[in-house]
Structure 1
Amino acid sequence: MRQTWRWFGPKDLVSIDDMLQAGVEGVVTALHHIPTGEVWQPAEIAQRQAALAVMSDGAPSGLAWEVVESLPVSEDIKRQTGDWKRHIENWKTSMRHLAAAGIEVICYNFMPILDWTRTDLSYRLKNGATCMRYDAVDFAAFDLFILKRKGVADDYTPEVTEAARARLATMSDARRQELTGNVVFGLPGAAERMSLEDVKDHLARYDAITPERLRRHLVDFLAEVTPLAEELGMRLCCHPDDPPFPLLGLPRIMSTEADYMAVMDAVDLRANGITLCTGSLGARADNDLPGMMSRLGSRVHFLHLRNVALEDDHLGGSFHEAAHLEGNTDMVAMIAAILAEEARRRAEGRADWRIPFRPDHGQDILDDQSRKAQPGYPAIGRLKGLAELRGIATALSHPLVAGA
């Protein structure tokens, strides 16, 4: 398991020095400032590589850009509208530039509009730590009574609607504004620049797109880019829906093992692979994550390891981001499955036998609460998670355990 760390670039409040002291081996980053659909030029790629190669005092960090997260897929590509064909060609050109710079793994997602959805970005736990949380009733209150989305009433039972109405009545104006900002945080553009009418406009563009049609569009996209990835020696890995159930009337197509199997079978090339995110997929109790790793492992090119605590029994219920060893996912079983897959790859002679992973998200603890880094990406909370994951992997690989 190759230990990596997500870095949002020079403006990230978690520095190169911080991640180096955490003991990571490689960096996961992206050129977030380049507009979606445009080409990532060699000079921009080289500039980012140079930035992460040095510590604050100018000493070499020894770290390299190993995984792109993410090279964004435009909404035009997802809908097959507007400039979608040009955007695919630009995506392929960016792939060539990344390959020339020595970068082999590209994580992307095919979620319509939303990269992820939470109702709370700093939910306080009993021990004083804070984390991100999805409250199903709060979300329904936003969807039904704040956004007032077209056709929204059909998506909720009378019981949920009444619970949402009662919840809204308890919310101050400040909480309503905070909830709106949290939900649209994962939409294109910053929350403060997007009105509710803007959100409705984005959603309306998906009115005629069913899950089946969106899946066809994903397969069309992969049929274009995966052969080139094979030629370049690159690995593409699709991130699952977050959360992995329908929201805002949008289609969801990467939420289960069956979803991944359908797409892997449709474009059956090794370069067409998976970002197995235990946090996103773990928000569904019916996803068997260690089993998915065992059955789909040959196509898992990147791992996000985090945990969620499910607060409801039903699909689409509330959850919060737990400490890495404290949620519903059995992380020991998960890491055992990862190590078994790596052993199989090594026996096959695969050069990519070590699978890059990063400690995904983390709770804000200690000095994280004053640092105020990117939501979900604190320094100390992620370091704690990485240490726990590293400890499991080390123990399971020890001769006393491995040989037992």
Structure 2
Amino acid sequence: MKQTFRWFGVNDSVKLADIKQAGATGVVTALHHIKNGEIWEVEEIQKVKSLIESKGLEWSFIESIPIHENIKLRTGDYLKRIENYKQSIKNVAACGVKNICYNFMPVLDWTRTHLFWNLEDGSTALRFDKVEMAVFEKYIMKRDGVEKSYTSEILAQAKNRFLEMTSEEKQRLEDSILKGLPGTVDDLTIPVFKEMIAQYNGISHQQLKENLSFFLNEVIPVAEKNGVKMAIHPDDPPMDIMGLPRIIKSESDLEDLVNFIDSPSNGITFCTGSLGANSANNLPKMIEKFAEKIHFLHLRNVKREADGSFYEDNHLEGSSDMFEIVKAVLKVEKNRNIQLPMRPDHGHQMLNDLENNKAYAGYTAIGRLRGLAELRGLELGIKNSIN
């Protein structure tokens, strides 16, 4: 596997030199300063590419060129936004960057109720707590119709949890959910968030899938002509939240995706954390099934809980069998005679990074360094045992 590391640009507390020292050869990043829906100009792309290459690294994957909400809704100026996206594809290709990760999640990117959840060993992790999600929707956000989204048991637990929470804990929950990452959305307020969600009233799973299909049938031919691979990231968490439909969360969803348009440019970012949070997903089997369509790997592990909650575990621990996952990946690489770009994801905040207040939750250096080292060792062990 080609070892890469995500980087959020010059303002990231993790520097390119840190990535180099971690042993990665590739960088995964984006033009985080470009407004969502605008064209990525060649000059701006080349600046970032040159900076990465000046450190002896490669810009392996773009993550992401965000998709404007109007495209997802097929409303307003969505056709202009699609044309902008096509031009961005042409421009990155002209600069020699030929891999794009993207997602089609409404309003929010990945969502967690805890950004720094305390683990037994003293490190912290990202966590999605189903009960606290219900607390946020019902008592903080006060979303209409929230009762339809949760069982009576979860709602009862949410009521008790809300009554027990301090004002600081309620604020922490709100901040965790509405916190934006660079290149996604800015930090949101409850009123703005409710307005954004309201745009999706009446949008079904099927309609959102049709909108995704329309988008892909517009942009994939451009990508294919320019030698660019598009790789969709699964929804995270892999379940409906805030009343918003999630449409890339299972094997059948990925099957729909690859059937929207038959092209070598239409592919998948196989995220073992997002897909692994859905207990119905058999990850090694899915890797085998979609072998020709996997362009990018996010390798991480989550520990699932009975009510749908989960937290980010160590990369080789958790509910998914990382040994079988990597073994399946290596088989794909051998059969296709390629190296798939891989990055460790959502590492724990640990050691000196516990004092780093500027790091993005899940993207601290040392936790991902540990994950990369573990994955590197696992890959070597599997290869040696096979040979």
Same fold (TM over 0.5): yes
Equivalent residue for 1:190? Answer: 186
User: 2:33 & 2:150 partners in 1: Cα distance?
Assistant: 37
On the 8 A contact 2:178/2:189 being kept in 1, the answer is: no
Deviation at residue 53 of structure 1 after TM alignment: 2.7
Equivalent residue for 1:145? Answer: 139
User: 1:156 & 1:330 partners in 2: Cα distance?
Assistant: 29
1:344 aligns with 2:335: yes
Equivalent residue for 2:194? Answer: 200
In the TM superposition, what whole-angstrom CA distance separates every residue of 1:349-392 from its partner, at most 9, and x where no partner exists? xxxx1110100110011111112311100111001000000011
Out of 298, 305, 330, the position equivalent to 2:299 is 305
In 2 relative to 1, CA 102–119 (structure 1 residues): closer, same or farther, beyond 3 Å?
Answer: same
Equivalent residue for 2:341? Answer: 356
Deviation at residue 50 of structure 1 after TM alignment: 2.2
On the 8 A contact 1:108/1:239 being kept in 2, the answer is: yes
In the TM superposition, what whole-angstrom CA distance separates every residue of 1:121-151 from its partner, at most 9, and x where no partner exists? 0000011010100111111011011111111
Aligned pairs for 1:2-401 within 5 A? 2-54=2-54, 61-186=55-180, 189-191=185-187, 194-312=188-306, 314=307, 317-346=308-337, 353-372=338-357, 373-398=359-384, 401=385
User: 1:269 & 1:207 partners in 2: Cα distance?
Assistant: 32
Deviation at residue 65 of structure 1 after TM alignment: 1.0
| Structure 2 residue matching 1:94: 3-state secondary structure | helix
On the 8 A contact 1:10/1:51 being kept in 2, the answer is: no
| Partner AA of 2:165 in structure 1 | M
* CA RMSD in angstroms, aligned pairs only: 1.1
Deviation at residue 208 of structure 1 after TM alignment: 1.7
User: 1:276 & 1:287 partners in 2: Cα distance?
Assistant: 12
User: 1:63 & 1:91 partners in 2: Cα distance?
Assistant: 26
User: 1:156 & 1:343 partners in 2: Cα distance?
Assistant: 44
Deviation at residue 190 of structure 1 after TM alignment: 3.4
| Structure 2 residue matching 1:320: 3-state secondary structure | strand
In 2 relative to 1, CA 397–49 (structure 1 residues): closer, same or farther, beyond 3 Å?
Answer: same
| Partner AA of 1:388 in structure 2 | E
User: 1:247 & 1:356 partners in 2: Cα distance?
Assistant: 30
On the 8 A contact 2:108/2:185 being kept in 1, the answer is: no
On the 8 A contact 2:216/2:260 being kept in 1, the answer is: no
Aligned length: 384
User: 2:152 & 2:250 partners in 1: Cα distance?
Assistant: 28
Structure 1 vs Structure 2: percent identity of aligned residues?
45
- TM-score for both structures, normalised by structure 2: 0.97
| Structure 2 residue matching 1:227: 3-state secondary structure | helix
Deviation at residue 396 of structure 1 after TM alignment: 1.3
| Structure 1 residue matching 2:258: 3-state secondary structure | helix
| Structure 1 residue matching 2:367: 3-state secondary structure | helix
On the 8 A contact 1:109/1:238 being kept in 2, the answer is: yes
User: 1:275 & 1:137 partners in 2: Cα distance?
Assistant: 29
In structure 2, the gaps of 5 or more residues are none
Deviation at residue 62 of structure 1 after TM alignment: 1.1
User: 1:374 & 1:393 partners in 2: Cα distance?
Assistant: 27
User: 2:27 & 2:10 partners in 1: Cα distance?
Assistant: 13
| Structure 2 residue matching 1:53: 3-state secondary structure | helix
- TM-score for both structures, normalised by structure 1: 0.93
| Structure 2 residue matching 1:367: 3-state secondary structure | helix
